[in-house]
Amino acid sequence: MGKLTVNEAAKLQESGVLSKKAIEEMQEKGLVSTRRRNNKRYLKTANGTYVTPQLYFQGLAGNKYSTKMTELKNKFNELANEYTTEKKG
Amino acid sequence: MINLEDTTYNEARDGMIPMVAGIYPAHVCGLEAKELQTKSGEQTVFNITFLIADEVANTQVAKMVKNGNGEFHQDNHKDGQPKTISAVFMKGKKFSSTGIWLTPSPQEGQGWKNRKYKEFFEHLGVIFPTDKNSNTLLAIVEEEDIIGYPCLIKLNKEEYQKDGVTRSVWKVFDAFQWSDGAKLTSDEVSGDDLPF
């Protein structure tokens, strides 16, 4: 079974359906994601097709991000944003 | 043709409002269980019915309009930002869940068949007891256990084939306990307000 994304929970909070406390409780129970998913970004290959760069921490296996990992992820996203676009083309 | 005054039709303004996949506040309003003899032995399939809550009026959904082919697509503002509308039109609608299967006394290595059953009802707020080895002791959930429960449902289209044609039906694929919602009585969610 899935869980609510951070964006879905935020929209429900904006509309007054969910309180901040309820979202925190749902996150503790694993019903709401704790990380925001970025929009997919694209980069053109030499053959004209599109690819999406991704950062992957092999061996994470459910462990929490460290400060250094978050720092790397943020720097990676900045770099990826520099080279990619939100839309193909 | 005889011209009419003040009588215009605009698809974006007056067109049918289609339902949109998403998360909606709701209450459990029914549960049906059917026992079936399958290849895996005796199984029970549960279908839970949900009633969209009044609070849906406060939420916004994407505004969809028909294009030239009669298909719905997202309506955008001139600057490309998506238009949204109140989801009040969803209030009071009922939707069924996809089938939730329970396999009583599963064979060795077949316990995974009850994972969806356990997780679906636990997400709804049902608490199954555990034994001293931390095994979850599954039990048959009855309508009275969950009727009126406030929850957030994940609504989407389920596609199926009939007579060689792909058709679709709106189904609840997941449900989450809505701790800010109020539990309703079975009378409040039954919808049987007949005037006689």
Q: Is there a contact between A16 and B152 if contact means CB atoms under 8 Å apart?
A: no
The continuous run of DSSP H or E covering B168 comes out as: strand B165-177
Q: What pLDDT does A89 receive?
A: 64
Single pTM value for the model: 0.77
User: Cα distance from A1 to chain B (closest Cα, Å)?
Assistant: 7
A13, A15, A23, A87, best to mutate vs chain B, most B CBs in 10 Å: A15
| Strand pairing category for B41-52 and B22-38 | antiparallel
Residue B191 has pLDDT above 70, yes or no: no
Backbone φ and ψ of B111, nearest 5°: -60, -25
Asked if B121 and B102 count as a contact pair (C-beta separation under 8 A), the reply is no
Residue A58 has pLDDT above 80, yes or no: yes
Helix and strand numbers (H, E) in chain B are 4, 10
Judge whether B22 is closer than 8 Å to chain A, CB to CB. yes
Q: Return d(Cα A18, Cα B172) in angstroms, integer.
A: 19
Candidate from B119, B120, B179 with C-beta closest to A22:
B179
Q: What pLDDT does B39 receive?
A: 83
Q: Return d(Cα B9, Cα A69) in angstroms, integer.
A: 56
Count the alpha carbons within 13 Å of A53 in the hemisphere toward its beta carbon.
Answer: 15
pLDDT digits 0-9 by tens, B91-133: 999 999 999 999 999 888 889 999 999 999 999 989 999 999 9
